[in-house]
Amino acid sequence: MDRKGHIHKIRNKMKQRNIMYGVVLTALILILAIKVYAVPVGPSVSELGNSSLGDAPNATVNMTGNTTTAGGYIYTINLQTRQQNARWKGYVGNVTGTLVLSDSSGYFLYDWPMTTALSGEVYATRSSTLVSWASIACANTTHIYNESIDLNFTGYGNDNLTATFNAQDNEQFDVGTVSIGAATCWTTNMNVNSTDPTDDAFEEVMLYDGGSDPQAGDIVFAAIVEDSASGYKNTTTGYDFQMILPEIAYPTWTGATAYYFYVELA
């Protein structure tokens, strides 16, 4: 082979190598872009207020019909009460947002307003570390039992985690690139106008981000976003989400458990 042919062969190899590098670099950029876009993100929070049921006054029992309650009689009475449950707390509200192409400094090249019906999920977890979204799945009974131990819920039956999230009847939804199948997660539903909800109203499910290891991950609560729907009380605008979260159940506990929120718009 003459010198000219040899140089031409070398240039062809370099060209092929550059093309290969370009393909690999493009693939890496696409993978990184998909990874950044797919996971839920932490929202900015505007606290609008809070409310709690106050202590009810005592009930005087001094009459049965027209007869004064006095000695020498046996009176049969029924007592009914609603007692505030300090082992749970609730969050309700609305979600706004845009889809953006942004860099790590928060400068965005383009943004798309949410003009169609709002959908997605609101997530909350006790873990301050970033959720492992790639390994997210339904929480199983072992994960829920471990969470109950951490929160001292094992001594309560009527309002513990398993009594509250007591059916596997969730709708299908996606968490980033992970699909959560229908009727696979332990689920509950929030009240609408203080009455028992329908099966799909303001759905909340229990997830787990540690894969198959019952000790390696954290419980993540997921509330399915509605679109300005009628919530636990009537409002002019409605609510996009309603969810309840467990509080530490020690009788002497007077603090507040921090929860870390994420939002995913679909």
Domain with 249 in it: 39-51+82-265
pLDDT surpasses 90 at 189: yes
Residues with Cβ within 8 Å of residue 185, at least 6 apart in sequence: 138, 139, 168, 170, 205, 206, 207
Q: Tell me whether residue 22 is in a domain.
A: no
Q: Tell me whether residue 210 is in a domain.
A: yes
pLDDT tens digits for range 52-69: 666 666 666 665 555 566
Average pLDDT for 234-257: 90
pLDDT surpasses 70 at 257: yes
Query: How many Cβ atoms sit within 10 Å of the Cβ of residue 115?
Result: 6
Give me the pLDDT at residue 92, please.
Answer: 96
Residues with Cβ within 8 Å of residue 129, at least 6 apart in sequence: 218
pLDDT tens digits for range 72-130: 777 788 888 888 898 999 999 999 888 899 999 989 999 998 878 889 999 999 999 99
* Domain count within the chain: 1
Rounded CA-CA distance 144/257 in Å is 17
For the whole model, what pTM was predicted? 0.77
pLDDT surpasses 70 at 10: no
The answer to whether the beta carbons of residues 205 and 222 sit under 8 Å apart is yes
Q: Tell me whether residue 6 is in a domain.
A: no
Give me the pLDDT at residue 43, please.
Answer: 80
Q: Tell me whether residue 198 is in a domain.
A: yes
* Residues 213, 130, 246, 191, CA torsion sign: negative
Q: Tell me whether residue 96 is in a domain.
A: yes
Q: Tell me whether residue 108 is in a domain.
A: yes
pLDDT tens digits for range 151-184: 999 888 889 999 999 999 999 999 999 999 999 9
Residue tagged 């042919």 (tokens) = 5
Task: Compute CA distances 177 → 72, 136, 152, whole Å.
Answer: 73, 10, 34
Considering only CA atoms, which of 88, 117, 108, 90 is closest in space to residue 41? 108
Tell me 29's DSSP state: H
Q: What is the token pair recorded at 193?
A: 């106008």
Q: Tell me whether residue 171 is in a domain.
A: yes
Give me the pLDDT at residue 44, please.
Answer: 76
Q: Tell me whether residue 127 is in a domain.
A: yes
Give me the pLDDT at residue 220, please.
Answer: 98
